[in-house]
Each structure stands twice: as C-alpha cells, then as structure tokens.
C-alpha cells in the first residue's frame, strides 16, 4: 500500500476550494463597498459648499502643503491652502482654529500665551518666523488665526484635552500672507507669499475751493499723495497764500490686484501748481545720487532749506519785534512760531549735522543743525527728540528730528524755528535760498528722456477718481512747448 487515501484527498480538496471561494467572494464584497463609499464621498464633496477646498494626500504634513502652495499657487490659493494645511489630513490629529485680535500692549509671545500655547512652541514658532516677520513688528488690531491639534487617542474624550499649536496664519498687510506650520514634533517652518499687483498711473487734477488737501482728495488722491505733494511744492510756494481757483495736477502710481482693488499708492511722478506767480511743474527723476524732483529744465525742486519744517501748522508768531507773552515786554523774536498739536512731527529743514540735541533753558528741548554755506537751523520747545537724534548725527532734509511740544518758556504747543546765516538770525519766511542740484551732462540728457516719458504718461493717464477726464489735460496738451518750470521762484 502506498498510503494514499482517495477519500482523504477528496476531503482536503473540497475544503481548499471552499476556503479560496469564500476568500474571493469576501474580497469582491469589500472592494464593492469601498468603491461605493468612495463614489458617494466624491459626489457629496461635489455637492457640498466648500469655501476652502484644497485637495491634499492623506498624511501630508502642513509645512509641505504650504511650501507647495507658496511656490506653485497664486495668492488666493495660498489663503485656501493655509486652512487646508491644518484641516485636510484625515489620518492626522483633529484640528481646531481660533481667531484672536492683538490688543494694545501685547507682544507676539503674550498673545500666544493668552491663547494657551505652550511657551516652548511659542518661542520656536516666533523664531521660525523672525526672518520674514520679526515679532516686534506686531501691531494692535492685527488679526491672527491660530490652529491647534488634539491627538487621535484623545478625540473620544470630552474632558481635559492636551492641545498643541500646529500653525499660525495672518496678513501683516494687503500684499502678504504669512503662515507658520509645525514641521515634525518640535520644529516650525514659516512661509511668506506675496500678492501680485499691477502698477497703474493715475492722475488727480482740479481747482482749489477751500484748501489743497480737500481738493486733491476729492480728485482721487490719498493722504500719502497729498503729503508727498506738499513736500515737493513746499520749497516753492507758501501754502498760506493758496487761493480759490488755484489749480493743481498730480500723476502718481497706484497698485491694484486682479480684482481692481487698490492696495496702496506709490511715487508721485509729476506735480504741477498754478496760482499766483509763475506756474510750477516738477518731474521725478532718479540719478546716481538718488531720486528727486526737477523742473522742466532740470533744476531741483528742493532748496537748501525748507521754509516750513512742519506740516499742518499755522504761523502763530512772526519774525521780528513782538510783545513777549511771558516776559510781558517788547522783545526781538528771532524765529517763526508754528502752532500745532503736541506730537506733530518736526523735520530737518535741510541736510546737515546735529550740533546739539538737549535741554536749553527757556527753549526747552532744543535741536540745532549745521548746514552748508554757513547756515544753521534751530528747533525749540519740543515734546521729545526722534530716535537717534543726538549731537554728531547726520540728517537729511525731511528727516523727523522731534515732535511738537510746549517745553521751556512756552504758553502752548508749538515749534519755534530759527534760521541763522554766519551767526546772524534771518527771517525763515523771506529767505531766497539756492536750489539743491542742477542736473548736467549725461544726467541732464537722461532727465530730458524721462521727462518726456512722464509727459506722455500724464496725458494718457486715467483720472484717479474715475471721472471722464482731468481738468488740465486739454490745456497742457494744447501747449506742449510751454515751459512753466523754467522760472519757479
């Protein structure tokens, strides 16, 4: 006998066929269920509203999603990605979000601490972000989105959950979004994305009815543009002498996104003013020495010194003899007083070196600057000095050197401003000072080319307020040979 039993073999064969048949049927059933579920989920996702739809592979870490978004997607997609990065992973810990607004006096660390973030995580997240957004730049009113994760084994428990920070996202301005995502168990990674803006050249023109500020804003200019206009024109005109019917014209940059929303304004390229005296016209030009404004012939708009080193002020006391309100006697007043609210910035009237910045008797907080050609300027009764202003500091025209106050022998907040030439006091409002620069050689040729380019842009620019056409277009186009800037004083 060989030991082979036919009945036993048949029984083994029958059991094997039954086993593999059952296994095959089970695989088919399970596969059908999975396909049906996947189809149902896909249809449900297609039908359900999803304001932040962003597909990501299961288990993909937040920092990888955000890195890809920053390099491959546009600005709006990154905003979607920053939410999906912390919520899209089905196999990851559950994620919750909290929106917090920074209050006055809070730091980045204190905001995170108040939200329940572990101090170690807060420190590492802030350190990761430091190169693209230093924590000290955080300002009151900034809105932060904080994301926290709860480990999977704690999801079923409604009791004490051990949450940890998994990400931060916020927009420090209209052009950027910054996201900090956990990378591994203890590290963080920061990503910055910039929105793409189109540069447009727009024009604000009009006649003055009450003041330059109101007229320019009504024509589509912004506060920033008006301030820049005042800086260019302030060397050549006395704003107190502006009258009804005086005319202005300004061409400036405006940055808009693809939806036509204005982010901010840029440089003024051209500004003109027609009032009493010769018309004024200045063009922006950048030479090796930096950017500046020049008249039609290439003479700088800037003079050696500013007549009024302060904006938004009124003259409260003129240069010359006057009755002193504190000493109650007639005395020589060697400067001009500008009344303004406490804290109003005071500017350096010209390039120079600070000779002193300290307390000076009845002048209170006092700054004196030495300029070229034997000129000195002095600023008194300041509330305080700007950062870095001390004896020996070199300043440029327009730099903030201090703030209006009422220190020393003063009856109210104002700036006492003096100009001295070779030690002799001069009336700041009647000085006939030389201009800063007159372009020559290749700079002058380059300026002429830039001037003509700006004129072409000016004549074709859209009105800043969306109206039909700037007031001065027809007049200037009809007189291309006119050279209003050739005599600006």
Residue 397: in which H helix or E strand, if any? none
- Per DSSP, 102 falls in state P
Half-sphere exposure of 335 (CA within 13 A, CB side): 18
pLDDT of 321 reads 62
β-bridge partners, 1 = none
224 three-class SS: helix
pLDDT of 305 reads 86
pLDDT of 437 reads 78
| Degrees to nearest 5, angle at CA 454 with 448 and 458 | 145
Architecture of domain 198-302+438-486 in CATH?
Roll (3.10)
pLDDT of 360 reads 92
| C-alpha pair distances (Å), 408 with each of 213, 400, 412 | 33, 21, 10
Architecture of domain 314-430 in CATH?
Distorted Sandwich (2.70)
**pLDDT tens digits along 8-55:** 444 455 555 455 555 454 554 445 544 444 444 444 444 433 333 333
- Does this model's pTM top 0.85? My answer is no
423/319 Cα distance (integer angstroms): 16
pLDDT of 89 reads 54
- Dig out the tokens for 482 from the structure: 């006119």
Q: Is 363 exposed, middle or buried (0-12, 13-18, 19+ CB in 10 A)?
A: buried
pLDDT of 459 reads 92
pLDDT of 323 reads 54
- CB within 8 A of 239, min separation 6: which ones? 212, 230, 308
φ and ψ at residue 234, rounded to 5 degrees: -60, -20
pLDDT of 60 reads 45
- Dig out the tokens for 11 from the structure: 């029984």
pLDDT of 1 reads 41
Average pLDDT along the chain, 489 residues, taken 10 residues at a time: 44 50 50 48 41 38 51 51 54 74 91 90 92 89 88 51 82 83 83 79 88 85 84 75 86 79 82 86 87 91 82 70 58 81 89 94 94 92 93 90 91 91 85 76 94 94 74 42 41
pLDDT of 474 reads 38
pLDDT of 91 reads 54
CATH (residue range 62-194): 3.10.450.350
Q: How far does CA 9 lie from the centroid of its chain?
A: 86
Domain range summary for the chain, segments of one domain joined by +: 62-194, 198-302+438-486, 314-430
pLDDT of 432 reads 73
Domain 62-194 shares a fold with domain 314-430: no
């Amino acid at each position: 006998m060989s030991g082979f039993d036919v009945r036993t073999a048949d029984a083994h064969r029958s059991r094997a066929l039954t086993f593999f048949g059952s296994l095959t049927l089970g695989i088919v059933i399970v596969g059908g269920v999975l396909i049906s579920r996947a189809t149902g989920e896909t249809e449900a996702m297609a039908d359900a509203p999803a304001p932040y739809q962003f597909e990501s592979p299961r288990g993909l870490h937040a920092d990888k999603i955000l890195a890809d978004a920053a390099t491959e997607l546009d600005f709006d997609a990154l905003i979607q990605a920053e939410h999906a990065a912390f919520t899209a992973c089905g196999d990851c810990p559950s994620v919750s979000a909290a929106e917090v607004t920074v209050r006055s006096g809070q730091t980045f660390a204190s905001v995170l601490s108040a939200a329940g973030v572990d101090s170690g995580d807060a420190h590492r997240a802030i350190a990761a972000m430091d190169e693209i957004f230093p924590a000290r730049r955080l300002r009151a009113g900034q809105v932060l989105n904080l994301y926290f994760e709860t480990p999977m084994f704690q999801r079923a428990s409604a009791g004490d959950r051990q949450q940890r920070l998994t990400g931060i996202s916020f927009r420090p301005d209209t052009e950027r979004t910054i996201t900090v995502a956990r990378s591994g168990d203890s590290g963080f990674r920061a990503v910055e994305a910039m929105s793409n803006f189109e540069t447009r050249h727009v024009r604000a023109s009009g006649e003055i009815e009450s003041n330059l500020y109101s007229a320019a804003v009504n024509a589509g200019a912004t506060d920033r543009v008006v301030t820049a206009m005042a800086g260019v024109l302030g060397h050549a005109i006395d704003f107190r002498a502006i009258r009804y019917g005086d005319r202005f014209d300004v061409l400036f940059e405006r940055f808009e996104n693809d939806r036509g929303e204005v982010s901010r304004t840029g440089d003024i390229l051209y500004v003109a003013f027609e009032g009493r005296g010769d018309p004024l016209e200045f063009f922006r030009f950048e030479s090796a020495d930096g950017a500046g404004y020049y008249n039609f012939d290439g003479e700088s708009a800037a003079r050696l010194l500013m007549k009024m080193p302060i904006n938004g002020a009124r003259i409260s006391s003129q240069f010359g003899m006057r009755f002193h309100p504190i000493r109650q006697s007639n005395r020589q007043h060697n400067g001009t007083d500008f009344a303004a609210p406490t804290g109003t910035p005071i500017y350096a009237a010209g390039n120079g070196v600070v000779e002193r910045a300290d307390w000076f008797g009845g002048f209170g907080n006092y700054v004196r600057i030495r300029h070229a050609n034997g000129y000195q300027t002095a600023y008194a009764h300041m509330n305080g000095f700007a950062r870095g202003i001390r004896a020996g500091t070199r300043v440029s025209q327009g730099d903030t050197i201090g703030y209006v106050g009422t220190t020393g022998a003063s009856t109210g907040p104002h700036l006492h401003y003096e100009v001295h030439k070779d030690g002799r006091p001069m009336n700041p409002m009647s000085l006939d000072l030389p201009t800063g620069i007159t372009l020559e050689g290749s700079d002058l040729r380059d300026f002429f080319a830039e001037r003509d380019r700006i004129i072409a842009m000016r004549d074709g620019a859209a009105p800043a307020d969306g109206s039909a056409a700037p007031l001065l277009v027809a007049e200037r186009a009809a007189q291309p040979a006119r050279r209003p800037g050739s005599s600006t004083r």
